[in-house]
Homo-oligomer: A and B are copies of this chain.
Amino acid sequence: MAPPDKADTPDEFALIAELFAPLAVSAPEALALKDDAALYAATPGCETVLTVDAMVEGVHFLPDDPAESVARKLMRVNLSDLAAKGATPKGYLLVTAWREGTPLEWMRAFARGLATDQKIFGIDLWGGDTVRTPGPASFTLTAVGEVPAGQMLRRGGASAGEGLYVTGTLGDAALGLTVLQGGLEGLGAAHRGYLADRYRLPEPRVAAGGRLREIASAALDVSDGLMADLGHLCAVSGVGARIELERLPLSEAGRAALALNGELIEAIAGGGDDYEILFAAPEGKDAGIARVAAETGTPIVRIGTVLPAADGITPVDGTGRPVALKHLGYRHF
């Protein structure tokens, strides 16, 4: 099934040499991308945390999203998984399945996006695979991180009576996708731009995640939407929860959108792509949490309380009355 050579596209080895080898140059693990595999020695006393996420054109990113932001989002959704586990990112493997006819300039911009985020997060490319596809482009990133042995944050571990907290702001990405699809026309241009940027470029909470290892009893990252991911945390922990919708942290743009249309609370509590950390922590940790927030520059607010499993998961309004939400998170099929 060897395809005919194409004069207009560099072959795999030329692409690796031009685009990817520079991303691996600082990492001995990558063996200069000239071997069959990467070689990694864990830091003594640490365990390895592995996660993988794929993004498919037309499903997880828009065909006209800029290449840089596609690459950076791919990296960041994986770093968000590591962050929520309290892991320090170390390196990554990348599979690029380029759509036939992808301009070399698009590929170069993709690599520039990776280079930008490698510097920000202090990681390097260790290896990967480069293939072509007759279908939509897709990209798969396997991220490798480390935690001190026995200290990885897990979804299980929350207990009734604990507080529920979230980093950053919620709903921006879901609202940003709506903007990119032509919605929220009543919103000002600055707010629209802010929300679109938040959809395209999530902020993995790496610094905060590492600090939460000693504070949180359970954690995960909000990727499917707050209510869906809260459901996952509660299911694995064997607990229920009450979420106070008025406490959900909103950006200025998110507040403006909600003021235009109160029903957008559905998108804020149910939409995905937030990539914030949702965690539970025992009472008495508020000072420690405030310190993590201040020292890592990460907003963290309490949004609810862990309840016994029998109480289920209940969003409530400012008066404590249960609110029925229709949309409980992104379904992948």
**Interface positions of A (Cβ within 8 A of B):** 1-3, 5-6, 9-12, 15, 31, 34-42, 47-54, 56, 58-60, 62, 81-82, 84-85, 87, 93, 95, 97, 126-136, 138, 140, 142, 144-145, 147, 149, 152, 154-156, 177, 181, 220-221, 232, 235-236, 272, 330-333
Contacts and interface: CB of A to CB of B under 8 A. Distances in A.
Nearest to A231: B13
Contact of A330 (B2, B128, B135): B2
How often does this chain occur in the complex, in copies?
2
Contacts of A155: 34-36
Given A38-B50, A41-B47, A50-B127, 7 more contacts: A2-B330, A12-B333, A37-B152, A56-B135, A58-B134, A95-B140, A132-B333
B2 A52 contact: no
Contact of A134 (B52, B59, B154, B156): B59
Q: Which 3 A-B pairs have the closest CB atoms?
A: A135-B135, A12-B332, A37-B51
A130 B59 CA distance: 12
A48 B48 contact: yes
Contacts of A130: 332
A108 to B, nearest CB: 16
Given A142-B52, A142-B93, A132 B332 contact: yes
B50 A11 contact: no
A19 to B, nearest CB: 13
A9 B152 CA distance: 34
Given A60-B1, A333-B10, A39 B34 contact: no
A181 B97 CA distance: 24
Contacts of A58: 1, 134
Nearest to A273: B1
A268 to B, nearest CB: 15
Contact of A177 (B1, B138, B149): B1
Given A48-B42, A54-B131, A131-B56, A37 B81 contact: yes
Nearest to A154: B35
Contacts of A5: 331, 333
Nearest to A327: B2
A95 B152 CA distance: 23
Contacts of A50: 37-40, 93, 126-127, 142, 144
A278 to B, nearest CB: 11
A39 B48 contact: yes
A111 to B, nearest CB: 16
A257 to B, nearest CB: 18
Contact of A136 (B52, B135, B181, B236): B135
Contacts of A36: 51, 81, 84-85, 155, 220-221
A311 B154 CA distance: 57
A127 to B, nearest CB: 6
B56 A129 contact: no
A287 to B, nearest CB: 27
A135 B133 contact: yes
A95 B52 contact: yes
A276 to B, nearest CB: 13
19 contacts: A1-B62, A2-B272, A2-B330, A5-B333, A11-B331, A31-B154, A34-B156, A34-B232, A35-B154, A35-B236, A36-B220, A36-B221, A37-B49, A37-B152, A39-B50, A50-B127, A56-B97, A59-B131, A133-B135
